[in-house]
Structure formats: structure tokens, C-alpha cells
Structure 1
Amino acid sequence: MQRRTSLLALASLPLTPLLAATEPTAKNVGAETKPEVNFDAVLPGRVLRFPNDEGGHPGFRTEWWYVTGWIEADGDPFGFQITFFRVRTGIGEDNPSAFAPRQLLLAHAAIADPRLGRLRHAQRAARTGFERAGYSTDRAHVWIHDWSFEQMEDHYAARVNAEDFDYDLRLVFTGPPMLNGDQGFSRKAPDPLHSSYYYSRPQLRVDGQVTLEGQRRTVSGRAWMDHEWSSAYSPEEAEGWDWVGLNLDDGDALMAFRMRRPDGTALWASATRRLSDGRTQSLGPKQVTWFPRRRWRSPRTGIEYPIEWDLGIGERRYRLQPLMDDQELDSRRSTGTIYWEGAVRGFEDEREIGRGYLEMTGYGDRIRVG
């Protein structure tokens, strides 16, 4: 359920596109905001331009830069994730003060460590300004204190310093951005009002260092970056979504998602496949199917997640298996948001053909994103 949120509560929101946060009206903060806020709209036909569109789009309500990947150190596999969220709050937009929280940044980072058997994770949040937090609009560069995600000439740099882990990674481009949906216009429901601008950078080549339990280790692997922005993302009928991004061993890349009704059926589904030669295939709802194979119940929250899937993409069938079962992210101490997000292997005809990340929301409480 969408909540009315005080500034203090909004500033504590972490993570994922589960920004069930603000109603952009005067009832949030009394006279401090205008009665209504006109967010920019997502419309078909807009041409995405790079590198400018890798930067922030402050006129839209929500935006995120979402990086996931598999890395190895001395043969040990790990999953890693860093996400920065930008939220246009609708608060204080006519207030000239630098303290007005017009734009908030939130970040979440995690390491999926099979030796531990669960996620290591941390989060940060700050209003923009005062050089403590901010973002660029002409390239990907977003930061909160000493956490950052930055675009260089031929790569991204991701830096995280958390209590029980840190990493400093270079993510090298291996191809152009992959435009999802209709040339970057990605529908989330039969009504095109619920859409986003959405592109990915799959098959990023990773190198760098990760520190776990005080030990700094050199790592390498592959990663995936999603950048998405919208002002009307989730339709009322959607309970949550299932999403996967796979870097395939043959050089292809596959993204698929579905928006899910309360009864578990698909309200909308879509997929994009980029071939190793650079060609892109876009698939609609009738060509994308999700069938759960195995479920896992969290010992902390009691929520049951379908953590193994049969995924149908056109005529092909893939199986998704997790690196480890417990990749639930539990944020009850802050926003109450709980979801599953973790590293998975992809199989076709019993043969491993790639690795990536799976995200599943709305299996506890309904998820809503503005």
C-alpha cells in the first residue's frame, strides 16, 4: 500500500525500486509543497542518446542505476550488487533553500557469499547537495558519501565501503547499450501509461578488489547494469514483479520480466535478447512465460519464494537455479520492504549456459513504485 511518508521516514528508505514512498501533494508536509507536482511523462518515440541518458533525469519521479554480477576470487564464486535510487519527492520544490529535500538518493549494496549462506548487505540515504550526495545529468555518476557509481570513457567504477564488506570494481564495456522494449520505451502493463525508459549494459567485464572478513581479494567476472526511470511505473493490479538478467556464455544477453497479479498470473511480460553480433530481439507478453519449479521459505520472515524457475523465451526454455537459497533482503528495521534478490545460474537442456541475477518482489506485501 502506498504510504504517506514524513521526511524523516522518506530519508530512511533504502533500496530497490520498492519506493512505495511519497504522495507528491501538500498533505505530506503541509504548506511546504505545492498542491500537485507535475512529473515528466514517459512517452513512446523518444530517442535515447548516450552518454547523456546515462545520467540522471530529475524531472521524473523515480530512477535507478542497478548493477549486479558474478565474481570469483581464487575459484570462490560470489554475487554482488549495487543500486542507487534517485527520488523526486515533490517536497519543497518552490523553496530556494539548499536544505529543501527536492531530490533524495538512496543506495543498497550486497554480497552473496555462499560460505556465509546469506547476504551481506548495507544501505545509505541522503538528500542531494552539500557535496555529500549527488548525481550528474550528462553521464552516469551518482554518489552518497564514499559510495559511488561513475562512468569513465570505457567503463564504470563502483565503490562501496560497508561495515562487513567493501569493494572497488571496474566494469568494462563490451558493447553498446541494449535498448529494452520498443527502443527503450518499456511497458509494464496493457495501459502504456505504466512505462519506463529502460536500457541495459550486459556482459560487462569485471576486475577489482573485494574485502570480506578483513581479507582483501582480487576478483574478476561479469556484470550487468540496468538504468531505468519513470513517473508511473506500477499499475494498481500488480502485486509485484519477477525479473532476471543473464549474461550468456556464448556472448548473448537476456533480460526478462513479468508484472504479477495477486493470483500469481502475469499482468504483463517482456524480454530482450541481444545477440553476440549486436542484433537485438524484443519479445512481448505472449512470448515470455514464468513457471516456478521449487520454493523456499525464509526462516526470518516466513515468506515463501519460488527460487527456481522454468523461463520460456519464444521457443526456448531455460531453468534458473540460485547460487544459494537464502538471498532474501530483509529491511523491516527501516521501511518494512522485504524481497528476494540474488545470483542465479541459467541452464538450457541441462547444460549451464550463463549466469546472472534474479529479483522477486511482492511475495510478502504488495510493492508499489511511482
Structure 2
Amino acid sequence: MHILKCCSTHTDFFPGYWRSIFQLMRRPIPLQGLFVTFFVVTCFAATCVFATPPRFSPVVRDMPLTFPHDFGDHPSFRNEWWYATGWLETPEKKPLGFQITFFRVATEHDRTNPSRFAPQHLIIAHAALSDPAAGKLLHDQKSAREGFGLAYTKEGNTDVKLGDWYLVREENGRYQTSIKAEDFMLHLSLTPTQPPMLQDINGFSRKGPRPEQASYYYSEPQLQVSGTVTRTGKEIAVSGVAWLDHEWSTAYLDPAADGWDWVGANLDDGSSLMAFRIRGKDGGKVWAYAGIRDPSGRFTKFEPEQVTFEPQRTWRSPLTNATYPVEMQITTGSTVWLLTPLQDDQELDSRQSTGAVYWEGAVTVTRDGEPAGRGYYEMTGYVEPLEL
């Protein structure tokens, strides 16, 4: 099957070639001729497998990120996403959390097909609102093939759209986003106050023990947010602080991986914390990382052995029966962080788009027992092992 799939792009030669082989096989063939036929078939298959150029670009170290170009799409890579999360506050000081994510996923379709109907990329979007008054996470999702100006991601700057949902970066760096979900609407402006935070090794982010298990990854923390949230027909002015991630890659996770836990936190002193662990199917740690940038711009990177995640309290989902460690203690070096959720039920069922169920929610953060900031915490692979 692999050979047939690989060779199927040779549309002019392929059918006639195999027709000739089948005709030969219908005739009595001397033993020497059988060996020759087998040799020809094997050589042709090897040519298909080894001569076909790579479909997607690899992630390599020491490839500097350049802006504003890298704010935009990178269609030569398999996967890409723009991911904005944050805490909002109403005029009555009521806290809300929000998540807006746009994914671009390359398909296995022939990229040389000139047809505008060719489904070369899929665009997927998730949106969620954490409102303790609602008692559960409000969320929505969309997906469509790229094309016809209805769903797209653009190169050169952030400009992603799926129907009437969009995220656009203006020339001054401010982001504008509009989401008209089933149970709520978001119209938000996100204004940078700091330069991009390049994760890991100048934006080369390791995701496993093998060097190819990596992505290009930067964050924009400490974004100042203003806009409106509409619920039950009522529009409310909001303000707050957000975090935006942009990541693109080609490699899959390590085969031993089961899922991951991730947090991005805007700290009250102007610092920014990002940490994650990739969990193994055996319950161990496949990989881990943390990075902290202080208000002066100094960046501190922590190696896998310096980062630990220790669950403190769990919550069981009434929808999926999955058990999530919603309160998590993270240690980076000698510093201890504690994540506490705005509400326990922040599970997002995206099986209609990405096929996964994950927990994604607003959390408060303490540092060595003292209040330190607010962020967003993501957990995947708790319903079933995550497959990418």
C-alpha cells in the first residue's frame, strides 16, 4: 500500500506500467524471467520511494526567525497554529477567560494540483469562554478546506480567517479578532507591550529527545486587551491581558508520547513564564521545558531535568469521565509554581474538528506561595492518547 500511494502521482506512466506487468504475469514466465520482472518492479518502487522529494520542510536549528515575515503563514510546513488566551474583566470586576485558536493543517493531497478545489490545507478554529457564572466552559469550533477567500492563512503577516471568524495583525502590531460563536461573541483588540519572546533556543523549540522533534515557536506575552464580549444578547465592555503563541512544525511527537501539559502565564511584575511537559505512555516524562523572561528582557531557559510537574488536585469530567490534574505544581530550578483553575470544568470537546478532547482553562499562578499572575493551562491526552 505504501508503494501504491507513493507512486500514484505518476499519473501518465503508472497505469500503463502496471497494465504491462499484469499482462506479463498472465503468461508463462521462465524462472529467470520471473526474477527479471521482480527486479524491474522493485527498482521502480524504490525509485518512487527514494527519488520523491520531501513534501514538507524540516525544522532545523540555527534558522533565525525574522519579523514581520514570521508573523505570517509557513505553508511548506505540515502544521501551524496561532493561539491567543487571556483573562478579561468586566466593569463589575467579574473575571472571564478566553481562548481563540486557528490551525492550518496540510493534507496529503498532491501539492502540484492547480485546481482551486484541491484540498491542500485544512483550516480549523476553536473558541472558548470561561465564565464561572455559566458553570461550564462555553466553546465552539469550525473547520473547512482552504480556498475561495472563505478560509485562509496568509504569508508575510498574521491574517487568518475561517468564515466570519478571523485574527489579523495590523501594521502597528495590534491584533484584531472577531468570533461569532454559538453561545457568545468576542470582538477584541490585543496590543503588544513587549517584543516577541523566542522560545527555547532562539525560537527552535525541542519537543523530544530526537533533534527533528522540534518546532519554530515564539510567544507574545503581556498583550493588553480591550473590546466586547456578548452573552445572551448583552454586549459587555471588557479589558485584560493576553498571551499569543505562534508555532509551526513538520515532525510528529515522539512515538512514546501520550499527551502534554502546558502553561503560559503573564506575571504581575511584567515577567512571562512558559512551561510544558510531554508525558509518556508509561507515565514518565518524554520531554520538558520552561522559559522565563523578566521585564528587562533577560531570558532564562530550563532543561528537561530542571522542570517537574506534580498534580495537586484532580477533577473528573461528567462528559468524558476523564480525570484531569486541574491544580498543578510546577518546579523550575528552585522555584515552585502553583496553578489553580478559575473553574474546574474547562474541558473542550473538539472531536468534530481536530478529533481530540482537551482541558484548556484560565488559571491563577503563585510563585513560592505568593500570588504571581494569571495564565492559561492546557492538558491533552487524558481522554485517550493524543495522536498527531
State the TM-score, normalized to the length of structure 2. 0.85
Greater relative contact order structure (CA < 8 Å, 6+ sep)? 1
Please tell me whether residue 86 in structure 1 is matched to residue 108 in structure 2: no
Q: Which position in structure 2 is the counterpart of 1:346?
A: 365
**Contact 1:247 1:356 (C-alpha < 8 Å) held by counterparts:** yes
Matched with 2:331 is 312
2:275 aligns with: 256
CA drift of 1:260 comes to 0.6
Matched position secondary structure for 1:115: helix
8 Å CA contact 1:83, 1:108 repeated in 2: yes
User: What pairs up with 1:146-295 in 2 under 5 angstroms?
Assistant: 146-152=164-170, 153-295=172-314
- Residue number in structure 2 paired with 1:117: 135
CA 1:105–1:25 in structure 2 vs 1: closer, same or farther (change >3 Å)? farther
Secondary structure at 1:267 match in 2: strand
Q: Give the equivalent residue in structure 2 for 1:38.
A: 55
Aligned to 1:52: 69
Residues 227 and 103 from structure 1, CA distance in 2 versus in 1: closer, same or farther, beyond 3 angstroms?
same
Matched, 1:77 2:103: no
User: Where in structure 2 are there 5+ consecutive unaligned residues?
Assistant: 12-47
Structure-2 change in CA distance of 1:147 and 1:229 (3 Å): same
Cα distance in 2, alignment partners of residues 258 and 341 from structure 1: 15
How far apart, CA to CA, are the structure 2 residues paired with 1:252 and 1:287? 19
Is contact 2:349-2:356 (8 Å) kept?
yes
Conserved in 1, the CA contact under 8 Å of 2:142 and 2:353?
A: no
1:331–1:337: 8 Å Cα contact kept in structure 2? Answer: yes
Secondary structure of the structure 2 residue equivalent to 1:324: coil
1:137 aligns with 2:145: no
Q: Sequence identity, in percent? A: 50
Aligned counterpart, 1:4: none
Deviation at 1:121, TM superposition (A): 0.7
Tell me which amino acid in the other structure corresponds to 2:151: A
What is the alpha-carbon distance in structure 2 between the residues aligned to residue 246 and residue 72 of structure 1? 17
Could you tell me how far apart the structure 1 residues matched to 2:301 and 2:318 are? 38
CA RMSD of aligned residues (A): 2.1
Go from structure 1 to structure 2 and tell me whether the alpha carbon gap of 1:62 and 1:335 turns closer, same or farther (over 3 Å shift): closer
Q: Which has the larger radius of gyration?
A: 2
Offset at 1:286? 1.4
- Size of the aligned set, in residue pairs, is 347
Contact 1:32/1:92, CA 8 A, preserved across alignment: no
Give, as a single letter, the amino acid of the residue that structure 2 aligns with 1:89: T
Q: Does the 8 Å CA contact 1:24/1:91 hold for their aligned counterparts?
A: no
1:61 counterpart residue number? 78
Shift of 1:26: 6.7
- Corresponding residue number in structure 1 for 2:16: none
Structure with greater helix percent: 2
Q: How high is the TM-score relative to the length of structure 1?
A: 0.90
Contact 1:154/1:172, CA 8 A, preserved across alignment:
yes
Cα pair 1:26 1:32 within 8 Å, conserved? no
Distance in 1, matches of 2:223 and 2:4, equals 43
1:72-127: CA deviation from partner (whole Å, max 9, x where unpaired)? 11211010000000111121312110000011111010101110111111111122
Partners of 2:309 and 2:329 within 8 A in 1: yes
Q: CA deviation digits over 1:38-67, x for unaligned, max 9?
A: 210000000000110010000000000010
Is 1:325 equivalent to 2:344 in the alignment?
Answer: yes
